[in-house]
Amino acid sequence: MRAMGQDVHGGPEVVKEIEVPRPTPGVSEILVAVHAAGVNPTDWKHRAGGAFVGEPPYVLGWDVSGVVEAVGFGVTLFKPGDEVFGMLPYPYGRGSHAEYVTAPTRSFVPKPPSLDHIQAGALPLAALTAWQALVDTADVRPGQRVLIHAAAGGVGHLAVQIAKARGAYVIGTASAGKHAFLRELGADEVIDYRSVDFAEAVSDVDVVLDPLAGETRTRSLDVLRKGGTLVSLLGGGTPEEAEKAAELGVRLEVLLVEADHAGMRAIADLAGSGRLRAHIEATFPLARAAEAHTLGETGRTTGKIVLTVR
């Protein structure tokens, strides 16, 4: 089968089209013919030398939308021909930037008929990240105030929709040109981070979702009410941050997304009912994965980038 692999760490140019054996599903696994696969920041970070999956050679990619080709022993949830989408077990289950992929059955859920494969392929990793941060970790409830940094990004724009679906009052930070987009998604308040100090403009927040870390994470602690929660999507926290959180009486949690059957079912329900939709910045055929990496690394995209495989 065709896949986009790399032999060394480096820039987008190290991602090349290769031929590798088509995998066979093992016990409790399914083989999926990939139709679309999202591209996420973790892809280009690992391509350049990320810490989780070791040294190349490897094929990256965690998002999948496709059709079940075969099932392994013991599988009862799916049959060949079923349309499914999901996230390969993060981080070690990578490999969706290919024509076929195998993974544990419960990494997948049925694809809602209302979603095409591009929409479905854009959702899993980013939507699970937002869901696990806002619902599983912070337990966002109706009426709570939620601040989402980088709200127009891949995780951020889905987090806005998930928080609204939970009944929250949502505040998002983004450049001014993306404010109309965020209001269309349901954001109640938007802040131009280039001209406004969010720490002066916002207070008494119940939950902060922060994919940026650094000074943004440290200063976000100040806008939380006592008992509030900050969920960071990047490591590198300092003892000083932990001490500050303790002094303020707030929680500081660092989240790494996990494969999650229940979470994917919730995401499928939201997407199938029209309450969660990925904005697609661009699509590229599988063979042009390097171009997708190049675009993503600009940091200027809105929503998601997707590779089309079939």
Model pLDDT, residue 46: 96
Q: How many residues does the chain have?
A: 310
Structure-block tokens of residue 290: 């390097």
User: 1 falls in which pLDDT band (50, 70, 90)?
Assistant: very high
Specify whether domain 2-123+278-308 bears CATH 3.40.50.720. Answer: no
User: 238 falls in which pLDDT band (50, 70, 90)?
Assistant: confident
Per-residue pLDDT tens for 150-205? 999 999 999 999 999 999 999 999 999 999 999 999 999 999 999 999 999 999 99
Model pLDDT, residue 302: 97
Per-residue pLDDT tens for 266-299? 999 999 999 999 999 999 999 999 999 999 999 9
- pLDDT more than 70, % of the chain: 100
Can you list the alpha helix ranges (DSSP code H) found in the chain?
Answer: 41-48, 117-122, 124-131, 154-165, 179-185, 198-201, 214-220, 239-248, 261-272, 289-296
Checking if the pLDDT of 236 tops 90, the result is: no
The domains of the chain are located at: 2-123+278-308, 126-254
CA distance 120 to 128: 12
Model pLDDT, residue 237: 83
Per-residue pLDDT tens for 49-68? 977 999 999 999 999 999 99
Specify whether domain 126-254 bears CATH 3.40.50.720. Answer: yes
- Please check whether residue 1 is in contact with residue 22, taking contact to mean a CB–CB distance below 8 angstroms: yes
**Residue 235: how many other CB atoms lie within 10 Å:** 10
- pLDDT more than 90, % of the chain: 97
Model pLDDT, residue 51: 78
CA distance 169 to 225: 15
Q: Is 126-254 the same fold as 2-123+278-308?
A: no
- Please check whether residue 153 is in contact with residue 209, taking contact to mean a CB–CB distance below 8 angstroms: no
